[in-house]
């Protein structure tokens, strides 16, 4: 990842902090997408990002609902983004992978609570 891409990503994180301070979940959500997209752009994989975006409508609905929760730890997401970017900047691939894995797991760990709060938004399969 070039210095320019890292600077762009850090700018996105700063904007996320402002969105968090302003309690703007909508802005935070779109900035979160921009942060993730920046990694695909920096690695010349924008076509993969576009493909994923077309396939991930349900995931985006979940993520959007998630960031709108009053108790959603947006500051924790910001810390995770910084940790991922720090590892990338240090060219520590193993650490970057670990931090990205932790970032994904935070979302999955909160799934049950979100489903409990909004059962009508989710469809459970009978006898799965």
State the chain's mean pLDDT as an integer: 85
Share of the chain above pLDDT 90, in %: 41
The whole-angstrom distance between residue 40's C-alpha and the CA centroid of its chain comes to 13
Element (H, E) at 106: helix 93-109
Exposure string over 39-53, b if 16+ CB within 10 A, otherwise e? bbbbeeeeeebeeee
Mean pLDDT of the 11-34 span: 94
SS3 125: coil
Instruction: Answer yes or no: pTM beyond 0.85.
Output: no
CA nearest 61: which of 125, 122, 106, 126?
A: 122
69 DSSP 8-state letter: S
Q: Which residues contact 39 (CB under 8 A, 6 or more apart)?
A: 1, 9
pLDDT value at residue 85 = 94
């Amino acid at each position: 990842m070039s210095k320019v891409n890292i600077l762009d990503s850090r700018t996105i994180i700063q904007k996320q902090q402002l969105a968090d301070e302003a309690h703007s979940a909508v802005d935070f959500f779109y900035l979160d997408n921009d942060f993730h997209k920046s990694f695909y752009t920096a690695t010349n994989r924008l076509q993969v990002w576009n493909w994923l975006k077309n396939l991930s409508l349900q995931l985006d609905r979940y993520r959007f609902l998630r960031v709108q929760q009053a108790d959603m730890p947006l500051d924790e997401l910001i810390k995770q983004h910084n940790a991922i970017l720090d590892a990338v900047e240090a060219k520590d691939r193993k650490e970057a992978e670990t931090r990205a894995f932790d970032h994904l797991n935070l979302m999955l760990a909160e799934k049950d609570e979100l489903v409990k709060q909004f059962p009508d938004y989710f469809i459970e399969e009978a006898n799965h």
